[in-house]
Structure formats: structure tokens, C-alpha cells
Homo-oligomer: A and B are copies of this chain.
Amino acid sequence: MKEDKRERIRDAAISVFAEKGFSEARADEIAERAGVAVGTIYNYFANKEAILIDIFEAEFTRLKEFYQHLRRSGLPVVEQIRQILKEHFARLEERQELIRVLQRERFKLLEHPGAEPLELYREIVAYVEELLREGIENGLLRECNPRIIAHALFGAVESVTHCSMICSPEESQQLFREAPEELAKFIWRGITLEGG
């Protein structure tokens, strides 16, 4: 019950942050959408920014766990990358607003250089980077700068959100249906050896 209220506040915050952006989001509105009084927010979070940090931390922790799990799975590199993409798109579909907040407010992480979320983000990218490196070493992927390509991979996936920004809701729906397959192909070709 207690944790439930914290959850509700966070979800309400996600919804408002996604819509107006962090800075324009008012505590009143978060409280209203969460169905609590403004004061209650401050029983669970130190301040508005703490909610955002918490959102980042929760999602990045979740992602990190996913990657750790994946690594321990012992699946071949190819399959791991496939799983990553699958996971990403599944998450995007089920929690569009959350993903939108993470992308929209990502720059705020820089204001807390030593804090948890940025560190987690680094680790997440590092996992992918290492995966790519492994793939290269195993002769499965082509030679490349794994850090750059790891980011490019994320960038390509995230672009779907930007795309949905400029098209109609109907086009958006179609987009979300086709994007996983399209991007998987795009990325796959981008990183595998010719003829691989």
C-alpha cells in the first residue's frame, strides 16, 4: 500500500513529464494525476528532481538487470542482440511515456555527473559495447569502434520516438508495427560481416 502510493506518484510524474517536460511539469498536476495531495509527494521524494532521478534509476536498473541476465544466459552474440532489440521495442510499446521521458530529459543527467543514473547508463552502453567487441573477436561482426556503434545502435532505435513525433497517430501506429523488423535489419546489416 505504501509502495503503491510511491508508485502512483512516479507514474503520474512520468505522465506529466512526458507531456510537458520536466521543467514545465507542476507538482500540483503530478499530485492530481496520482490522486494524492501535493504534500504527499514530499513524503516519498525529496523534491521534484528526485522523482526524475528515481525514474531514470528504476528503468536503468531494470535494463542493467536485463543485460546481466542476458550475459549470463550464454546465448550466442547474434541471439543476444536480437533479444536486446526485442526487449527495447516491447518496452517502447508498453511504456511509451516512460521512454519518452528518458529520451527527453536525458541531458539532465549531466547535472549529476557522479550520480547513480548516469553511471547505470554508462554500464548499459558498456554491456552492448562489450557484446559488440565479443562479436568482433569471434569473427561474427565486422571490425568497428564498438563504443560508437553501440551508441549508434541506441540512436537508431530511439529515432522511432522522434519519428512518431512528426507523424499522425495512425502513421505512428503503423510505424510501431513495422519499426522493429526494419530496424533489426538495418542494424544487423550495419554491424555484421558482409555476407554474414
Q: How far is the CA of A76 from the CA of B175 in the complex (A)?
A: 28
When each residue 122-149 of chain A gets 1 if its CB lies under 8 Å from chain B and 0 otherwise, what string results? Answer: 1001000000000000000010110111
Spot the interface stretch: A2-10, A65-73, A153-161: A153-161
Task: Select from chain B the residue with minimum beta-carbon distance to A144.
Answer: B182
Q: How far is the CB of A127 from chain B (nearest CB, A)?
A: 13
Spot the interface stretch: A33-41, A86-94, A184-192: A184-192
Q: Which of B118, B148, B163, B192 is close to A147, meaning CB atoms less than 8 Å apart?
A: B163
How many identical chains are in the complex? 4
Q: Which of B21, B100, B166 is close to A121, meaning CB atoms less than 8 Å apart?
A: B166
A194 part of interface (Cβ distance < 8 Å): yes
Q: Which of B148, B156, B179 is close to A163, meaning CB atoms less than 8 Å apart?
A: B148
Q: How far is the CA of A159 from the CA of B147 in the complex (A)?
A: 11
In the complex, which range does the number of interface residues on chain A fall in? 35 or more
Task: Select from chain B the residue with minimum beta-carbon distance to A185.
Answer: B144
Q: How far is the CB of A115 from chain B (nearest CB, A)?
A: 12
Q: Point out the residues of chain B lying under 8 angstroms from A21, CB to CB.
A: 23, 107-108
Interface residues of A (CB under 8 A from B): 21-24, 100, 104, 106-110, 118, 121-122, 125, 142, 144-145, 147-149, 151-160, 162-163, 165-167, 175, 178-179, 182-183, 185-187, 189-192, 194-195
